């Protein structure tokens, strides 16, 4: 299946130049160890510094460019990405492992984000007020933050870079992007498309490399004004420490341990469909995954039976194969982590449905979706983010008990409920301690024109996406003008 697939040679982008460097790395498909999606040379510190310098040099020109022109470039890039959704979706599916329809959907989402944020570039409105002193007008405007470092994870290789880059560019910032080592090809194409759409040299620089090698440079160097990061909690804390020490602003999106509550009056079909999609869509590798299924006693057994049966019917296989429901786990380290959580639960006496390795024609990281039953809220599997196709079930007495368990987490990204009761839906929307609440929907699956983000250990700083994205990527200026002295 993969023999005809080409290997793409990737470069860094610094000051508009395509720069090569060693040592060479290979981007190998998690579906097939013989499929090398891309080859690229890892950056060292000097290249990261050059990228920052290029962004610093480009900042005055880009911030002075009209919003209309910035928006035009983003929109043009968005249209090209939408047109090439199938082609780019295949590359994304190959390098990350989500199914081809999921990957094409993600590419289309990136295109929508670019177009939406392109429109936002001319909506940088301010305020004009009377001063408390006579004859003085006060204006409040927003200006670019300056040079922003963008550090992204592997699980959404084009959508996450797009939802950080697009508003940052729309609001006049210049950037250095470092995508995750496992998925450089999708990010490279995004940067390539934006350059060909007319982005001036140095406005968006791309550094391919490991966070261990260049992460500290990209989070604490002179010249940077902000860093936006999505990834693990541990790395996020380190990024925050570096940014604080450098005195620059930081925005972090980290983990989730998202509850999906199912109560007795739920429509069982809705509950099973949403739990399946929420827990195992994108191989469960989403910060918004519905990883804790909190189910009241009256519906528990029927829900578990139906969900287990649906899971057994799921086809796990090569990301490009027709008709599969779930692709491979991203790499061996993640597969080991997923299996370890399942095995530890089994050792602790929990019943596990699924979770076995799946045999396939190609050498990939294939694991069947796993459901861990009879868990306690204090189990590791209910406290820590697994980040794979692993969900747990917690049986509870009633709605109040379910709500208490749902809120009993250090995280607070998304929370969902499946119910036919308007009162329960309304109450949950108010009392769930999460940045995003879903009713009769999985916790995963969000829109691009509204805020995205969480509470507690999940997020730090202003929300991403939608109009709200402006908050992080602009700084406020308050100006006082004594009108009488102006001729
Ligand atoms: O994350 P990292 P990894 C979780 C998930 C997964 C685990 C490890 O549990 O199993 O994290 O994944 C860059 N300074 N999530 O190793 O290390 C790194 O190169 C600056 C959940 O991929 O956090 C990459 O570009 N940057 C999460 C990015 O940080 C550094 C999504 C994320 O990598 C750096 C991803 C450093 N010192 C992983 N070290 C979610 N919830 O969405 C690394 N990086």
Question: 10-residue block means of pLDDT along the chain (487 residues)?
Answer: 74 96 92 97 96 98 98 98 98 98 98 98 96 96 98 98 98 98 97 98 97 96 98 97 97 97 98 98 98 98 98 98 97 98 97 97 97 98 97 98 98 98 98 98 97 98 98 98 79
Ligand 1, closest atom to CA 337?
10
For ligand 1, the distance from its centroid to the CA atom of residue 386, given in whole angstroms, is 13
* Pocket-testing residue among 153, 224, 331, 381, ligand 1, by greatest number of atoms within 8 A of Cβ: 153
Write down the pLDDT at residue 106: 98
Is residue 289 within 6 Å of ligand 1 at its C-beta? no
State whether the beta carbon of 287 lies less than 6 angstroms from ligand 1.
Answer: yes
Q: Is 287 a catalytic residue?
A: yes
172 conformational bin, left if phi > 0, alpha if psi -120 to 50, beta if neither: left
pLDDT at res. 487: 67
Nearest protein CA to atom 22 of ligand 1, as residue: 153
CA-nearest of 202, 149, 172 to 74 is: 172
Question: Which entry of 287, 321, 385, 395 is annotated as an active-site residue?
Answer: 287
Ligand 1 touching residue 35 (CB < 6 A): no
Strand order in the sheet with 459-460: 17-19, 12-14, 204-206, 174-178, 147-151, 226-230, 249-253, 459-460
- pLDDT for the residue numbered 140: 98
468 CA distance to ligand 1 centroid (A)?
Answer: 24
Beta-bridged to residue 482, according to DSSP, are 136
Res 23: pLDDT? 83
The response to whether residue 237 sits with its C-beta less than 6 Å from ligand 1 reads: no
Is the C-beta atom of 232 inside 6 A of ligand 1? yes
Q: Is 120 in the pocket of ligand 1 (CB under 6 A)?
A: no
**Is 132 exposed, middle or buried, given 0-12, 13-18 or 19+ CB atoms closer than 10 A?**
exposed
List 95, 102, 253, 321, catalytic entry: 253
pTM of this prediction? Answer: 0.97
pLDDT of residue 2: 44
| Nearest alpha carbon, ligand 1 atom 19 | 211
Give me the pLDDT at residue 240, please.
98
- CA of 160 from ligand 1 middle (Å) equals 13
Based on C-alpha coordinates, what's the Rg of the chain?
23
Q: State in Å: Cα 302 to ligand 1 middle.
A: 37
Q: Are strands 226-230 and 249-253 parallel, antiparallel or unpaired?
A: parallel
The alpha carbon of 169 and the centre of ligand 1 are apart by a number of angstroms equal to 23
- Whether the CB of 385 sits within 6 Å of ligand 1: yes
**Residue 400 annotated as catalytic:** no
Neighbours of 357 (CB within 10 A): 12
Closest by CA position to 169, among listed 222, 209, 116, 211: 116
Per-residue confidence (pLDDT) for residue 229, from 0 to 100 = 98
Residue 158's φ and ψ, nearest 5 degrees, are -115, -35
Ligand 1 contacts CB of residue 392 (under 6 A): no
Report the atom number in ligand 1 closest to the C-alpha of 242.
14
- The answer, yes or no, to whether any atom of ligand 1 lies below 6 A from the CB of 71, is no
């Amino acid at each position: 299946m993969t023999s005809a697939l080409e290997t793409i040679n990737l470069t860094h982008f610094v000051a508009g130049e395509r720069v090569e460097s060693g040592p060479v790395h290979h981007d190998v498909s998690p579906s097939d160890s013989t499929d090398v999606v891309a080859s690229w040379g890892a950056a060292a510190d000097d290249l990261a510094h050059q990228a920052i310098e290029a962004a610093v040099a480009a900042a005055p020109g880009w911030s002075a460019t009209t919003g209309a022109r910035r928006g035009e470039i983003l929109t043009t890039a968005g249209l090209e990405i939408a047109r090439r959704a199938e082609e780019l979706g295949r590359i994304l599916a190959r390098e990350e492992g989500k199914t081809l329809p999921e990957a094409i959907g993600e590419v289309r989402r990136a295109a929508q984000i670019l177009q939406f944020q392109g429109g936002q570039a001319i909506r940088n409105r301010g305020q004009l007020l009377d001063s408390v002193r006579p004859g003085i007008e006060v204006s409040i405007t927003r200006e670019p933050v300056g040079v922003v470092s963008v550090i992204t994870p592997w699980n959404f290789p084009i959508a996450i870079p797009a939802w950080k880059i697009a508003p940052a560019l729309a609001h006049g910032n210049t950037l250095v992007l470092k995508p995750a080592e496992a998925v450089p090809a999708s990010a490279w194409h995004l940067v390539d498309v934006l350059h060909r759409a007319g982005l001036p040299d140095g406005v968006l620089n791309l550094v391919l490399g490991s966070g261990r090698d260049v992460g500290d440079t990209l989070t604490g160097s002179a010249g940077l004004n902000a860093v936006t990061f999505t990834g693990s909690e541990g790395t996020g804390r380190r990024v925050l420490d570096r940014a604080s020490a450098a005195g620059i602003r930081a925005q972090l999106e980290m983990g989730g341990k998202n509850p999906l509550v199912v109560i007795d009056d739920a429509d069982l079909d809705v509950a099973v469909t949403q739990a399946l999609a929420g827990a195992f869509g994108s191989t469960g590798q989403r910060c918004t995954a519905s990883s804790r299924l909190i189910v009241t006693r009256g519906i528990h057994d029927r829900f578990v039976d139906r969900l287990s049966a649906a899971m057994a019917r799921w086809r796990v296989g090569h990301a490009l194969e027709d008709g599969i429901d779930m692709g491979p786990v991203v790499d061996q380290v993640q597969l080991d982590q997923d299996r370890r959580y399942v095995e530890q639960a089994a050792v602790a006496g929990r019943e596990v449905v699924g979770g076995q390795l799946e045999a396939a024609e190609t050498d990939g990281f294939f694991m069947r979706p796993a459901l861990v039953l009879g868990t306690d809220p204090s189990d590791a599997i209910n406290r820590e983010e697994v980040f794979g196709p692993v969900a747990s079930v917690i049986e509870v007495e009633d709605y109040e008990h379910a709500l208490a368990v749902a809120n009993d987490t250090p995280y607070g990204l998304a929370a969902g409920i499946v119910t036919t009761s308007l009162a329960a839906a309304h109450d949950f929307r108010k009392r769930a301690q999460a940045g995003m609440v879903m009713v009769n929907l999985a916790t995963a699956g969000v829109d691009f024109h509204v805020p995205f983000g969480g509470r507690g250990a999940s997020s730090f700083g202003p929300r991403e996406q939608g109009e709200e994205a402006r908050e992080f990527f602009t700084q406020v200026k308050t100006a006082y003008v004594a009108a009488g002295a102006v001729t």
